[in-house]
Amino acid sequence: MLPIYFPHNGDVKPGLTESARATIHAMSHPHGHAHTHGSADAARLKLALGLILGLMAAEVVAGLLAGSLALLSDAAHMLTDAGALGLALLALRLAHRPAGGDFTFGLRRAEILSAQLNGATLVALGALIVLEGVRRLGHPPDVEGLAVLLVAALGIAVNLAATRLLAGADRRSLNVEGAFQHVLTDLFAFIATAIAGAVVLATGFTRADGIAALLVAALMLRAGYGLLRDSGRVLLEASPRGLDANEVGRALASEPHVVEVHDLHLWEVSSGFPSLSAHVLVRPDCDCQSHRRRLAAMLKDRFGVEHSTLQVERAGEEGARLAIAPLRYGNGA
């Protein structure tokens, strides 16, 4: 059952953290500043995609020739990187389409679906690498340490460039953050692979390759879980991070002349696009429309919620209530 909020005499200090406010302000505008960000982000994603595709082809060949699971796992991860970047580009294009027809919010949630899919692929690939890495720890194959080290060094350079490109994008979008996490995880994977190659080359300890693969898998699982958690909150219409639904309800109820607030819903359409709906009862002598405007302005100023739907009615006029009494036998009914 949804809570009901009533006025009280205590001090109410509702608000939003500065980081959350900046995120919502920048992400909740479909035109202007947000559109400029979208074009710049698309250019960064395209450049990063070109870098990843070029390196992936070289790494597959080197991994097969060297017999390195760490290199092949990186190549597989880079394939998902390329897919993640391509998907992010598509989602970015869809998200900027105007609302219309059956899609009254547009296709803004395409970005959330992209982040969800990116998280799922990271988790699935990480699990597969864990299984193969454990097997190779028990039965380590021969690994060409020099080839692994050289390709990993090249991979570090390329992924560092791609990571810096995406780090400058608007990562408050879960879509862009998902692509960034793919590339960042791959950068760490190449660092681990280079260390493994150096160990194999210096000591002949071939199990280092399997250990590096397990470290890569752990990074994938961690990044994938974070994306699934954050995108899942949006898809399940949880209140946005940094916004407390109870705090918002108490703030509404504490406004002058408000008698009761109920049926309050607070959710996120897409990254940084919070929405709210609520039924508000005010005193019988109040102007409902002026109070609606005042409450909407308060939600925007204090919480960064610019898309609010408030049903404001006078107390006692919110609708006739029908009471049905049970029949009493013997009274002539």
Q: Is 4 inside a domain boundary? A: no
Per-residue pLDDT at 56: 83
Let me know whether 188 and 281 are in one domain.
Answer: no
Q: Which of 193-197, 292-296, 321-325 has the lowest mean pLDDT?
A: 321-325
Per-residue pLDDT at 22: 47
β-pairing, 307-314 with 273-282? Answer: parallel
Q: Which domain holds residue 127?
A: 27-235
Q: What HEC string does 290-332 produce?
A: HHHHHHHHHHHHHHCCCEEEEEEEECCCCCCCCCCCCCCCCCC
Let me know whether 60 and 157 are in one domain.
Answer: yes
Let me know whether 304 and 219 are in one domain.
Answer: no
8 Å CB contact between 307 and 273: yes
Let me know whether 200 and 261 are in one domain.
Answer: no
Per-residue pLDDT at 69: 67
Let me know whether 65 and 176 are in one domain.
Answer: yes
Closest CA to 5 of 256, 241, 263, 306: 263
Q: What is the mean pLDDT of residues 38-56?
A: 84
* pLDDT tier, 169 (very low <50, low <70, confident <90, very high otherwise): confident
Q: What is the mean pLDDT of residues 25-44?
A: 58
Let me know whether 110 and 150 are in one domain.
Answer: yes
More confident residue, 286 or 332: 286
Among the candidates 235, 270, 305, a domain finishes at 235
More confident residue, 76 or 268: 268
Let me know whether 227 and 256 are in one domain.
Answer: no
Q: Is 271 inside a domain boundary? A: yes
- Residue 201 corresponds to which tokens in the numbers above? 């080359």
Q: What is the dihedral of CA 119, 121, 125, 127, to 10 degrees?
A: 60
Per-residue pLDDT at 280: 94
- Print burial letters for 264-293: b (CB count within 10 Å at least 16), e (below 16): bebbbbbbbbbbbebbbbbeeebebeebbe
Q: Is 168 inside a domain boundary? A: yes
Per-residue pLDDT at 208: 84
Q: Which of 142-146, 147-151, 189-193 has the lowest mean pLDDT?
A: 142-146
pLDDT by residue (tens digit) across 118-133? 889 889 988 988 888 8
Size of the chain in residues: 333
8 Å CB contact between 175 and 114: yes
Count of structural domains, the chain = 2
Closest CA to 66 of 156, 147, 136, 132: 147
Q: Which of 98-107, 142-151, 217-226 has the lowest mean pLDDT?
A: 142-151
Structural element, H or E, at residue 267: strand 258-270
